[in-house]
Amino acid sequence: MNDMKNNHLNLKIDDKIRIGKKYAKEIGGFESGEIINLVQGYFEYDNGLYCETQTAPSVYYGPGEDFDSIYHLFGNNLENFMDCEVLPNSEPEVQECDARDDDQGTEAGNIDSITKNE
């Protein structure tokens, strides 16, 4: 079923998507209400003559795992977006950070030490 209302979606890197109840039930792989963050995914594309690396907004599950592109998750025309919701982008909340953090074992450059985790 092609849902015409999804043709205007322009999903991009850093978008956050809340998984809907219908999507979780019919497609699976995520819990209803779960929020996923889109990152730049890398994919090998073989057209029969040569291979190239292509990119697309994707979900990344961690080291050693493959990316799932928005097209794998929601269909080539995003027809499976169903009741999922694109959440407004917001800047991460920066917490106060002082020299005491370094004395307590916080590694310099660790982004988790200066941003609020969701």
- Digit-coded pLDDT (tens) for 90-113: 544 444 444 444 444 444 443 333
pLDDT at 37: 95
Radius of gyration of the chain (CA): 18
Amino acid at 10: N
pLDDT at 9: 82
Amino acid at 49: L
Q: How far is CA 88 from CA 11, 37, 44, 67, in A?
A: 12, 12, 30, 23
Say which range, 5-9, 54-58, 63-67, 82-86, has the weakest mean pLDDT.
5-9
- Digit-coded pLDDT (tens) for 13-72: 999 999 999 999 999 999 999 999 999 999 999 999 999 999 999 999 888 888 999 999
The 8-class DSSP code of residue 61 comes to -
